[in-house]
């Protein structure tokens, strides 16, 4: 037996590079965090703010929302290994404004550019359904849509609506909608029909409208203060970004005078963390 075979084997020692500096460790952590944040904001979550009172009191002006971009099946095709589902009636969705194709001048007069601004509304009509309005009530396929109707009024769009009960809550309804006192009083006295859109194609009293395939009819919860599908039509599926989840920050825009610093110093703590439904 040779001497080489009797000699103990010495483990191979791999060369060790110089230790990472603190600056390099922080930089690498920052890059990883940034990549994860960009991935999350691109495919999973998105932050949006609410500039108008069309969804009062469900969502208030000054609410900052996180949007789940992951929940709805892309193009209606469900992936079995992902927690996704179809868009349902009652979902509060965020979508790119499709534009008023019947009356483009209405957009130009307000400097609205289609596909550039995000809107937040509630899904009312699904593809293939008929939507009809009668005296501040909504009918789907000829049947009354269960909604909890309230009278709501406010001095301005920045404040929450002062709510008065109008009728008993419907047990099967899972969300609330609000009408102004004058419009509900007019309906009571048979002097006024539902306040609908400027274009008769999207809101004629007693005229059913059929939702096109792969599109949705949406409305704001503050029904007399919402420019929605009654005005400009249906929302194509490809323009829908996701479902509004919860309020991650909220500020009193009236007290803050619209400034970012004022928004930080005038928070509405009771709304932070509130789920929207």
CATH says 77-242 is which class? mainly beta
Say what the pTM is. Answer: 0.78
So what's the pLDDT on residue 3? Answer: 54
The total of other beta-carbon atoms located within 10 Å of residue 99's CB is: 19
**How many angstroms separate the CA atoms of 52 and 235, rounded?**
19
Asked if the model's pLDDT at residue 29 lies above 60, the reply is: no
User: Which CB contacts under 8 angstroms, 24+ apart, belong to 209-214?
Assistant: 209/125, 209/130, 209/131, 209/132, 210/128, 210/129, 210/130, 210/131, 211/125, 211/126, 211/127, 211/128, 211/129, 211/130, 211/131, 212/127, 213/127, 213/128, 214/76, 214/127, 214/238
Asked if the model's pLDDT at residue 199 lies above 80, the reply is: no
Q: How far apart are the first and last CA of the chain?
A: 82
What's the pLDDT tens digit per position in 36-76? 444 444 445 577 888 788 999 999 998 999 999 888 866 55
Is residue 217 within 8 A of residue 211, CB to CB? The reply is yes
Q: Which helix (H) or strand (E) holds 133?
A: strand 130-134
So what's the pLDDT on residue 14? Answer: 57
Cis, peptide link before residue 57, omega less than 30° from 0: yes
So what's the pLDDT on residue 43? Answer: 45
Is residue 256 within 8 A of residue 262, CB to CB? The reply is yes
Look at the block and give the residue holding tokens 């789907």.
Answer: 140
So what's the pLDDT on residue 35? Answer: 47
Six-digit token pair at 262?
Answer: 């004022």
Is residue 54 within 8 A of residue 220, CB to CB? The reply is yes
Q: Most distant CA pair in the chain: distance in Å?
A: 114
Q: DSSP 3-state helix, strand, coil percentages of the chain (rounded to 5)?
A: 25, 25, 45
Six-digit token pair at 230?
Answer: 């009654």
What's the pLDDT tens digit per position in 164-198? 887 888 888 899 999 998 888 888 777 655 454 45
Asked if the model's pLDDT at residue 80 lies above 90, the reply is: no
Q: Which DSSP string corresponds to 53-70?
A: STTTTTS-TTEEEEEESS
So what's the pLDDT on residue 8? Answer: 60
Percent above pLDDT 90 for the chain: 38
Asked if the model's pLDDT at residue 11 lies above 80, the reply is: no
What's the pLDDT tens digit per position in 120-177? 999 999 999 999 988 889 999 999 999 999 998 887 777 788 888 878 888 888 999 9
Please list, in sequence order, all residues whose beta carbon lies within 8 angstroms of the beta carbon of residue 55, skipping any fewer than 6 positions away.
92, 120, 121, 122, 220, 221, 222, 226
Asked if the model's pLDDT at residue 261 lies above 70, the reply is: yes
């Amino acid at each position: 037996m040779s001497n080489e075979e009797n000699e103990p084997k010495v483990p191979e020692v791999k060369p060790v590079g110089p230790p990472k500096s603190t600056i390099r460790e922080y930089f690498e952590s920052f890059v990883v965090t940034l990549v994860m944040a960009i991935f999350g904001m691109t495919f999973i979550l998105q932050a949006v703010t609410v500039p108008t009172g069309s969804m009062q009191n469900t969502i208030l002006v000054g609410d900052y929302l996180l949007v789940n971009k992951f929940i709805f099946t892309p193009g209606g095709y469900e992936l079995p290994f992902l927690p996704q589902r179809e868009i349902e009636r009652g979902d509060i969705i965020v979508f790119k404004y499709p534009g008023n194709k019947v009356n483009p001048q209405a957009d130009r007069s307000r400097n609205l550019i289609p596909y550039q601004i995000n809107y937040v509304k509630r899904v009312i009509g699904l593809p293939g359904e008929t939507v009809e309005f009668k005296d501040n009530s909504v009918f789907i396929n000829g049947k009354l849509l269960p909604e909890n109707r309230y009278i709501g009024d406010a001095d301005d769009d920045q404040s929450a609506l002062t709510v008065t009960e109008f009728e008993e809550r419907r047990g099967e309804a899972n969300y609330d909608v609000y009408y102004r006192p004058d419009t509900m009083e007019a309906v009571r006295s048979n002097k006024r029909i539902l306040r609908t859109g400027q274009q008769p194609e999207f809101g004629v009293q007693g005229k059913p409208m059929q939702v096109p395939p792969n599109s949705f009819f949406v409305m704001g919860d503050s029904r007399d203060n919402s420019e929605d599908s009654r005005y400009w039509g249906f929302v194509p599926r490809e323009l829908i970004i996701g479902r509004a989840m919860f309020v991650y920050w909220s500020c009193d825009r009236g007290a803050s005078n619209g400034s970012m610093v004022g928004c930080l110093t005038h928070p509405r703590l009771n709304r932070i963390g509130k789920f929207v439904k």
